[in-house]
Structure 1
Amino acid sequence: MNFIMQKKLFIQSKTDNSKNESGIRLNKYLSDSGICSRREADRLIADGKVYVNGKKAEMGMRITSNDKVECNGKIASLEEDMVLLAFNKPAGIECTTDRSNPDNIIDYIKYPKKIFYVGRLDKNSTGLILMTNDGDLANKIAKAVNCHEKEYVVRVNKKITDDFLAKMANGVPILDTVTRKCSIKKTDDYTFNIILTQGLNRQIRRMCEALSYKVLDLHRIRVMNIRIGNLKTGNYRNINKTELDELLKNI
């Protein structure tokens, strides 16, 4: 049985959304509707793909219950129920809501409600992705400043040395910064587990490359308290109440 938590319905009085502080910001509305994350909503608005009441939307607009919002030709409306799924992403599936991409994660899952991914895994990586229609929840989980843990199993192309482990743990210079200190443990000559509290672009792959290693397989097994467990590749499951309660306590 699906685990569903009731969301507060959005009810506002009619107003001029470009001048009045009633309603909610357009990017949050799109996020809460399950269309995309707030960041992607900002990009879609900037690209002219969002319309409010038939007119091209502007950044920062506020939306009320009387407004008609369209994104990429589809009507956006707020969901009454919150959905949160754990999905075991296969290699080759991309974390994008762009339906013109044949490998997009949304069409692969075919979930009956509008949902989007929380955080990313690159196309060649596998493992746990959280999927939701709740923008606020997604932002709190994914926001880098919150330092939420994500755990991975990584296999590399050559034997792991103590020097490699020490440098990975203490921070590696990539992307004009130094990665945060992290927990890392060798599990065999070519494989290690690593727990990160940040999410730089292709972080683990870049860290390894900076130390002259190449990642062969990268598999995420945990986000905060949510574990992938024995979930089969390509399948998803609903987050249970115990998991959700613990998650909400820590965001």
Structure 2
Amino acid sequence: MDNSISLNKFISDTGYCSRREADNLITEGRVLLNNRPALLGNRYKPGDTVEVDGSLITAAKKEKRVYLALNKPAGITTTTELHIKDNIISFVGYPKRIFPIGRLDKDSEGLILLTNDGDIINKILRADNNHEKEYIVRVNKPIDNSFIQQMSQGVPILDTRTLPCKVQPMGRQTFRITLTQGLNRQIRRMCEYLGYAVTGLQRVRIMNIRLDKLALGKWRYLSDAEMSLLMESIADSSKVKTAGKPAAHKSAPPKRDFTPKDREQPGKGKATKPATKEDKPQTGKRGFTPKDGKQAGKDKSTKPATKEDRSQAGKKAAKSWKRESPAQKSAKGQHTRPEKNTGKEKKGPDSKKGRRSGAEGSFKNYRNKGRR
């Protein structure tokens, strides 16, 4: 039985950082697995040694999961890098290793969750799950109905267009917005696109967790009721992403050219039309098409469409004039092209061909008729 787990999950389970941050550490070459630089996709087995920045990481003991809600003040950076000034981990000062769920801009304030549970992070942050985050925003000048409508319908930023969202005015320069996305500085970029500058931004809700009366700069534990509803909301988060994939495949119907209905009517389908360049030389070699059947008397090696072949056919017909009877000439002239060439040669008894072969009443023709 394989007891291994992904390396980023192992690092996350120890409470060192989130899985996403663990992947960044691995990419930057700061993680060693059994004294060798770790790679994305490596797996940890019991007994392996893992080091991050030269510090040995040991498997975490089964400990109680911690879930905190913090009212982050402006100026605090959402990072676990302890060497960065005013990082959120040092600001909270929790005795156990924790890390934030998602990010909140340094210039922004409000609700942010922290935990030592690495499994819950991706379920909350995954964009396909459409988990709501609510903000109160203040801008530098009065807003109008056009601004509210454009913000709610979506704004082109970062080479994409933001998803439709809920926007409600709260004052001359203040509005409430609910997002299901988490693009980099999304609200600020949306306002800048419409000619506004954000002067204040506060997050007041993440899913069912609300900031309420939590003082700025303070944190609290999530209640049992909040955790119960939160876990219920993310229980099917992994299924939401897989359920969305078939919808992308439905938008590609061109591959239905060979349905059973088309097989019942092969004569009408475009797939049966031998009009491609590759098919034409193949049908020419086989010689079994209906068009070729009408010209079965012609030799495949000769192509009467060329001038050289026509001249050669005329010469052969002229030479065979003496050996053929009039009945044979008339019978053959109805189906083959040489009759046209021989007919052109019969210009009269004064022509060279006529003098050589003789007229119809010549001695040789008379002798042939007598034999019949």
**TM-score normalised by length of structure 2:** 0.60
Asked if 1:219 corresponds to 2:196, the answer is no
| Cα drift, residue 159 of structure 1 | 0.2
**Which residue of 28, 46, 49 corresponds with 1:47?**
28
Asked if 1:208 corresponds to 2:191, the answer is yes
| Cα drift, residue 79 of structure 1 | 4.8
Partners of 2:56 and 2:227 in 1: how far apart? Answer: 29
Asked if 1:121 corresponds to 2:65, the answer is no
Matches within 5 A, 1:122-161: 122-161=105-144
Match of 1:181 in 2: 164
Q: Which has the higher helix share?
A: 2
Match of 2:179 in 1: 196
Q: Which runs of 5+ in 2 are unaligned?
A: 235-372
Q: Is the 8 Å Cα contact of residues 22 and 62 (structure 1) preserved in structure 2?
A: no
**Which residue of 149, 160, 184 corresponds with 1:166?**
149
Q: Is the 8 Å Cα contact of residues 33 and 134 (structure 1) preserved in structure 2?
A: no
Task: Give the RMSD, CA atoms, in angstroms.
Answer: 1.3
More deviation, 50-59/163-172: 50-59
Partners of 1:24 and 1:40 in 2: how far apart? Answer: 17
| Residue aligned with 1:82, SS | coil
Q: Is the 8 Å Cα contact of residues 3 and 46 (structure 2) preserved in structure 1?
A: no
| Cα drift, residue 232 of structure 1 | 1.0
Q: Which has the higher strand share?
A: 1
Q: Report Cα offsets for 1:198-251 as digits up to 9, x if no partner.
A: 100000000000000000011000000001111111111111110000001111
Q: Report Cα offsets for 1:164-198 as digits up to 9, x if no partner.
A: 00000010100111111111111110111110001
Partners of 1:140 and 1:101 in 2: how far apart? Answer: 27
Matches within 5 A, 1:18-33: 22-33=3-14
Identity level (%): 52
Partners of 2:49 and 2:220 in 1: how far apart? Answer: 32
Match of 2:72 in 1: 89
| Cα drift, residue 78 of structure 1 | 2.4
Name the count of aligned residue pairs: 232
Partners of 1:189 and 1:79 in 2: how far apart? Answer: 53
**Which residue of 49, 60, 63 corresponds with 1:78?**
60
Q: Which has the larger radius of gyration?
A: 2
| Cα drift, residue 65 of structure 1 | 3.1
More deviation, 139-148/65-74: 65-74
Runs of 4+ in 1 over 6 A off after TM superposition: none
Asked if 1:236 corresponds to 2:222, the answer is no
More deviation, 53-62/126-135: 53-62
Report the AA paired with residue 85 of structure 1: L
**Which residue of 48, 63, 67 corresponds with 2:44?**
63
**TM-score normalised by length of structure 1:** 0.89
